């Protein structure tokens, strides 16, 4: 379970990091990292201003 | 970089730099770390600030002022305009900043006060001693380090991991965040007022802003409530607004970001830990403005750190003074704004028009926002009944 980041779309703003309830995301310069604590809840994908995230079930 | 400081500040935004500078001016040994290699870039802001509030912290400098604005113009869905310029005595009320320069200058000021600044240095966790926060784990240019300090300041913005590592749950629910997109638009004359377009017509659950940025450019942006985002994104709403209302505009830069609009959160200090600025969710739920609050909170946090050092006590007992001070000032304003925001969210386009029309023939141009709200409430008590507690 995880999320996919479209790195070509992402504007590296960190908004998704702030909403992830389990702190699974990290913004490192221009890329988003997802760790294995992700529960695929979908909150990050919902709020991304550009729609760069999608949940993998 | 040494491995021991009095204070480590994580994040070199306005909150972090002012905290660090205040601490250093009080004689403390301070490290300010920023994970990006360039402080202030990429920008996540519309760059609007009030002049007087800013001047409390820094002397204005044309290096980081992109434009001066005379006030705000609020535009209702049917195009009715409400002009506000704050105070008749003040000729020019605000600035549009160049934050790429502004943020770096603030960090430079901190450095000049004695702060050690480290860029490309990312906090990856906290160190603990007897349950108290006692420093950070950091990665500098791919190398991991452990650095100790009496107090760690979480000034890490909307992402805010430091608080969570310290046991403070700062995670935002979708309803607690405005998801934003902005273009720097060229080939337009935005005039001398910051504009706010309200209503579903322009943006569902938020507003569109047009802030003059000098030289025939403006920051044109949109914020939508996270809970309304999903099938349609902030960026597509913005594109639609530009296509409809500024079709001649040429886009020369893109900004995306999230603004915390939760209002005051429960806790911002722990033993050896203080949160400031967006990390402490101190941005305004109504306007999305957070620069001044971040700087004000940074000043308060710095002053409390100096006291803590004098006492040799870094526990919540001492740090709570910061919490009390910001709640009594910034916190009160945030609560009021939250009330107004929740009210505005419920208004239909027709109701927004009705409010705008109720000011017909009145000169509200020199009113502060609080006075304007009062007048609106008096003229539309039924519609704005929920705001009555603001005026009691
Ligand atoms: C689209 C948009 C428009 C806005 N418009 C306005 C406006 O017009 N006026 C206004 O007043 N406010 C506005 N705001 C809000 C304003 O930008 C913020 O409130 C303000 O920047 C908060 O300052 P800060 O120092 O708390 O955080 P930031 O300025 O976000 O700084 C945090 C810093 O911490 C760094 N960091 C994060 N994690 C780590 C880590 N682990 N290690 C090291 N460094 C780290 C980040 O890289 C960043 O540089 C807007 C925000 C957005 C998104
Ligand atoms: S919210 Fe979207 S644009 Fe912003 S960092 Fe996350 S994935 Fe990238
Ligand atoms: S899907 Fe949920 S748990 Fe996974 S990264 Fe996104 S917000 Fe976090």
What atom of ligand 2 comes closest to residue A32's alpha carbon? 5
Sole residue written with tokens 């603004």: B259
Is the Cβ of A28 closer than 8 Å to some Cβ of chain B? yes
**Binning pLDDT at 50, 70 and 90, where does residue B144 land?**
very high
Nearest to B36 among A11, A29, A50 (CB): A29
Shortest distance between the Cα of A42 and any Cα of chain B, in A, equals 10
Q: Compute and round to an integer the Cα radius of gyration of chain A.
A: 10
CB B127 within 8 A of CB B137: yes
Total H helices, total E strands in chain B: 10, 18
CA distance B163 to B153: 9
Question: Is it the case that residue B93 has pLDDT exceeding 60?
Answer: yes
Hey, is B129 helix, strand or coil? strand
Nearest to B230 among A19, A46, A50 (CB): A46
Q: What is the pLDDT of residue B86?
A: 63
Decide if B42 and A11 are in contact by the 8 Å CB cutoff. yes
Model confidence over B3-38: pLDDT tens digits? 999 999 999 999 999 999 999 999 999 999 999 999
Which residue's CA is the closest to the ligand 2 atom numbered 6?
A: A16
Question: Is it the case that residue B258 has pLDDT exceeding 90?
Answer: yes
What Cα–Cα distance (Å) separates residue B271 from each residue in B104, B129, B169, B267, B360?
30, 10, 15, 12, 54
Could you tell me if the CB of A34 is within 6 A of ligand 3? yes
Three-class secondary structure assignment of B250-284: EEEEEEEEEEECCCCCCCCEECCEEECHHHHCCCC
- Residue B220 pairs in a beta bridge with B183, B210
**Binning pLDDT at 50, 70 and 90, where does residue B361 land?**
confident
Weakest mean pLDDT among A31-40, B88-97, B99-108, B204-213: B88-97
């Amino acid at each position: 379970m995880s999320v996919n980041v479209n790195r070509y779309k992402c504007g590296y703003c960190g908004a998704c990091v702030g909403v992830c309830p389990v702190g699974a995301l990290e913004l490192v310069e221009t890329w988003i990292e997802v760790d294995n604590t992700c529960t695929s809840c979908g909150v990050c994908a919902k709020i991304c201003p550009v729609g760069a995230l999608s949940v993998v079930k | 970089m040494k491995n021991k400081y009095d204070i480590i500040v994580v994040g070199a935004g306005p909150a972090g730099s002012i905290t660090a500078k205040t601490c250093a001016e009080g004689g403390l040994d301070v490290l300010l770390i920023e994970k990006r290699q360039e402080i202030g870039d990429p920008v996540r802001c519309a760059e609007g600030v009030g002049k007087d509030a800013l001047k409390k912290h820094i002397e204005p400098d044309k290096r980081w002022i992109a434009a001066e604005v005379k006030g705000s113009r609020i535009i209702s869905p049917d195009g009715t305009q409400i002009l506000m310029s704050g105070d008749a005595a003040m000729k020019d009320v605000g600035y549009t900043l160049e934050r790429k320069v502004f943020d770096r200058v603030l960090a430079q000021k901190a450095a000049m006060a004695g702060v050690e600044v480290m860029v490309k240095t990312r906090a990856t966790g906290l160190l603990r001693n007897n349950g108290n926060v006692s420093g950070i784990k950091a990665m500098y240019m791919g190398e991991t380090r452990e650095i100790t300090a009496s107090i760690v300041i979480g000034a890490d913005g909307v992402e805010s991991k430091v608080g969570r590592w310290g046991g403070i749950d700062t995670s935002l629910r979708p309803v607690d965040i405005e998801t934003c997109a902005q273009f720097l638009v060229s080939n337009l004359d935005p005039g001398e007022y910051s504009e706010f377009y309200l209503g579903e017509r322009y943006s569902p659950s938020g507003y569109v802003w047009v802030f003059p940025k000098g030289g025939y450019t403006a920051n044109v942006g949109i914020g939508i409530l996270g809970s309304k985002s999903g099938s349609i994104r902030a960026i597509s709403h913005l594109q639609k607004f530009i296509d409809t209302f500024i079709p001649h505009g040429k886009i020369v830069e893109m900004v995306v970001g999230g603004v915390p609009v939760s209002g005051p959160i429960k806790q911002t200090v722990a033993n050896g830990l203080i949160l400031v600025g967006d990390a402490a969710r101190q941005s305004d739920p109504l306007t999305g403005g957070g620069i001044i609050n971040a700087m004000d909170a940074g000043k308060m946090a710095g002053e409390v750190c100096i006291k803590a050092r004098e006492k040799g006590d870094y526990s919540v007992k001492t740090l709570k003074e910061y919490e009390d001070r910001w709640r009594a000032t910034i916190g009160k304003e945030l609560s009021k704004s939250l009330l107004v925001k929740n009210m505005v969210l419920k208004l239909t386009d027709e109701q927004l028009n009705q409010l705008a029309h109720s000011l017909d023939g009145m000169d509200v141009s020199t009113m502060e926002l609080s006075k304007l709200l009062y007048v609106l409430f008096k003229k539309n008590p039924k519609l704005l009944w929920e705001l009555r507690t603001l005026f009691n």
